Chain A
Amino acid sequence: MSDLIHAVDSPQEIACAARRLRETGQRELIPPQAVLEVFEQWSAALQAREFEIPGLAFLRLWLRRGNLEPILLRELGPNALSGGWLEDGRAKLRAFPLGVVGHWPAGNIEIQPILSMTCALLGGNGCLVRVPSGLVEITRRVMDKLQEVDRSGSLTERIFMASFDHSRMDLHEAMAQAVDGAMIWGGAEAVSQVRGLAFPHWARVVVFGPRLSAAAMDAESWGDRAERSSWCRRIARDVWQFDQQACSSPQTLFLERGAGCDPDEFVEDLKQAFQEENRHHPRLQIEPALTSAICLARATWLLDSVENGALFPASPDWTVLSGEGEEMPNPTQGRTLSVLVVDDLLKVISRFDGTLQTLGLGVKDAHREEMLAQAAGRSGVDRIVKLGRMHVFSSPWDGTELIRPMVRLVRHVQSQD
């Protein structure tokens, strides 16, 4: 096990770790610029071919200076990189870390413990990260690379990763009591239970709870024979990532009806794209219950109406369920995409509720897209992106900034004035 990931068995271990992290932070502030330098090297170190970790490509891009600098500048202001003060009228503002931030990542996104942690590190915080038991090995491999590049330990001394069984309430409690901020990710049960822990009254808690995502295309896009294959490849990529279990995974694709556009042709192209994606990224294992769920989704859809169609192989590898309808069917996940033809995208999008996180769009006309984005935002959607980029992690996420919530903006009005 990496030096940074500890198999924790007592609340005292967590309390001691948090105390050390806090002391480190109080001893010396680390400006975002210094964090970015290490991140840049870390990103380069993760290029090695031996890494076959889902989402690692995103992590490499995320860690690049070119990606993070604009986020820092937007969230923390023009002088944020050097950790300097920012003029604000007759006052000055400067971001200071909260202290120690606890991270409760979800178990289904391999790189999430790292992503969550980097947000708080950029704010100069110490990080107490609970690594889900299924992600310990993957996280260790990524963190080993950080240790290699962070020779001075300027970042690693600000990190303590804890591995313990999810049922150990005493350890969850100890984590909660030891932190000044928390970033909580995952399903409804998990986030509700973590949020219900006894955090200090000053702790800031940010929750990234369970969401669903969908995709939508206008007829000019999906009906364009020249572009259709490319769109289908983008959709397949979004479906395959994280085995369609992420909050940003599309579960349903809405196609706006168009004169002379045949949905069957589109679904056939989608099948080709799914087959191709499956060749490149075959599933290596599956829970039997998911296989059952996939078979049940296929059967119930086709038994529901003789108008419904579907394309799927003999294996549970992928499924396209096609038909008409404005309601999002219950998601099956496991690479099962419902493709529904609708008369008016605007009407469908206007009926979304706050459950929907990301809307992946393929729309030809920019003005029309603005209208759809406006409707989506009003209906609770937090991210509207081009198809093929639904999982690209960026700020804001779930409508929330990623770095700013874990810093304090200190206001200084000079006494000489």
Chain B
Amino acid sequence: MEIEQRIEGLLTVPPYSLAPQQHQDAVLALLKSELEYACERNPRFRNYVNHWPMDFRAAERISDLPFLPVGVFKLNPPLALVDATEIKRTLASSATTGQVPSRVVLDAATARRMTKGVVAIIRDLIGPARRPYLVIDTTENMTARTELGARAAAIQALGSFATEVTCCLRSDGRGESSLDLQKLLDCAAKWKEAELMVYGFTHVIWTQLVQPLQGKGTTLGIPNVHVLHSGGWKRLEQQAVTKDVFVRGVTSVFGCSPHRVIDYYGMVENVGVVYPDCEQGNKHVPAFAEVIVRDPLTLKPVESGQRGLVQVCSVLPTSFPGFLLLTEDLAEVIGEDGCACGRRGTHFRFAGRAPKAEVRGCGNVETTRRGDSRWGAEA
């Protein structure tokens, strides 16, 4: 199909090579075609798009296209643009206790593009070579299943770079895991001089690798490692672990330099697109995606230097309407082009999750329903 070829076209160009206008034109045109396609496939999505304040066909900017709030993927059954028989896999977000996870459905084509997207981005960052892959997680979390959690999806997405894969946590069978120290030390000895790739959720790396090793005074001595981590900072912030503290901890354990510790942002709903930090500490948008930061008061895109709600855009999914998604995260736009790292296009920095709306006042009957334990009706 024509859309497929155009997506492939954007997947094959170097991900950060397009000039802003060229990028905007290509992505806008493709997103319009995908919206048209999605409207044909899903009447409820068409109903949403038809009620958008402007006709997307007349849009001149990506920011004018109809976006979905990411929360709609908590609906059951998940929003789909394909028949149930075409669904190969369902990805679920890592919701904390009591929360409903987001779920997105992947057909074979979308799953394939998801891998290609992540590979293109990570290749730009660490180079194309395949290398040993150390996973800071359990083998159980890597098992292929029809419904895949965010952790497993992230682990598997990097599998294309692996010559061999080792998981260094062991499960106790009751949902808890711990570091398999001997296994880790064996790997470290074996891969001492190798270009090693490590991945884990941020809080897992900290609590199950860095803290135990620091406690024992153990260093692994693998200077050529790239440590990739994602999953957010919320849990570590609760323990007062800042990004600096985290990076210092990881570098001390692996014996590597700080620029080899790479934090990236990703979400299951934005399949195939991850946002690693560049050397300047900025996040860049690849050719097959876009990021718009919107002013919460007007929902208009903000200027460079301003903060707002993040909208992620991707041309990759065709099995669910995940093209244009308003997240609940905040970011600051650093610039439209010209980052010193050499990557072209929009670059930005995340500023955390938008705080939950204050539970306030006499009209707030939701408190009783949600069981929110916050004290006080007022700020």
Cβ B355 vs Cβ A107 within 8 A: no
Q: Contact: A247 with B68, CB < 8 Å? A: no
Q: B51, A289: Cβ atoms under 8 Å? A: no
Determine if B51 and A310 form an interchain contact, defined as CB atoms under 8 angstroms apart: yes
Of residues 350 through 372 on chain B, the ones whose CB sits less than 8 Å from some CB of chain A are 354-368, 372
By a CB distance below 8 angstroms, the chain B residues around A293 are 357
Q: Which residues of A have CB within 8 Å of B296?
A: 286-288, 290-291, 316
Decide yes or no whether A415 CB sits under 8 A from chain B: no
| Stretch of A43-51, A184-192, A335-343, A367-375 that contacts chain B | A184-192
What's the nearest-Cβ distance from chain B to residue A399, in Å? 14
Q: Given A208-B362, A210-B363, A331-B363, are A296 and B72 also a contact pair (CB < 8 Å)? A: yes
Tell me the bound Cα distance from A290 to B359 in angstroms. 11
A208 to B62: give the CA distance in the assembly, Å.
47
Contacts of A212 in B (CB 8 A): 363, 365
What residue in chain A is nearest B308 (Cβ atoms)? A288
Bound state CA distance, A295 and B294, in angstroms? 12
Q: A302–B48 contact, CB under 8 A? A: yes
Give the size range of B's interface with the partner: 35 or more
The reply to whether B309 and A189 form a contact with Cβ atoms under 8 Å apart is no
Contact residue among B43, B69, B368 (Cβ-Cβ distance under 8 Å from A295): B69
The 9 lowest CB-CB distance pairs between A and B, nearest first, are: A107-B378, A108-B361, A186-B377, A166-B376, A132-B378, A190-B377, A288-B354, A247-B362, A187-B364
14 A–B contacts, CB within 8 A, in A order: A105-B378, A166-B376, A166-B378, A167-B376, A189-B359, A210-B365, A210-B368, A288-B355, A292-B309, A303-B48, A303-B72, A311-B51, A312-B51, A316-B299
Bound Cα distance from A275 to B363, whole angstroms: 24
**A206 within 8 Å of B (CB atoms):** no
B363 near A289 with CB under 8 A, answer no
Contacts of A132 in B (CB 8 A): 377-379
Cβ of A79 under 8 Å from chain B: no
In Å, the complex CA distance between A166 and B378 comes to 8
**Which residues of B from 10 to 68 have beta carbons under 8 Å from A?**
43-48, 51, 53-54, 67-68
Q: Are B376 and A302 in contact (CB under 8 A)?
A: no
Count of A-B contacts with CB under 8 A?
193
Interfacial residues, chain A to chain B (CB-CB below 8 A): 105-109, 132-135, 166-167, 185-191, 193, 208-213, 242, 244-249, 283-293, 295-296, 298-300, 302-306, 308-316, 330-331, 333, 355
- Asked if B374 is at the interface of the complex by the 8 Å CB criterion, the answer is yes
Contact B354 A292 (CB under 8 A): yes
Q: Closest CB of chain B to A349's CB: distance in Å?
A: 18
Shortest beta-carbon distance from A346 to chain B in Å: 24
Q: Is B106's beta carbon under 8 Å from chain A?
A: no
The answer to whether B330 has its CB under 8 Å from any CB of chain A is: yes
Tell whether B71 is near chain A: CB-to-CB under 8 Å.
Answer: yes
B1 lies within 8 A of chain A by Cβ: no
B79 at interface by CB-CB < 8 Å: yes
Is A189's CB under 8 angstroms from B372's CB?
Answer: yes
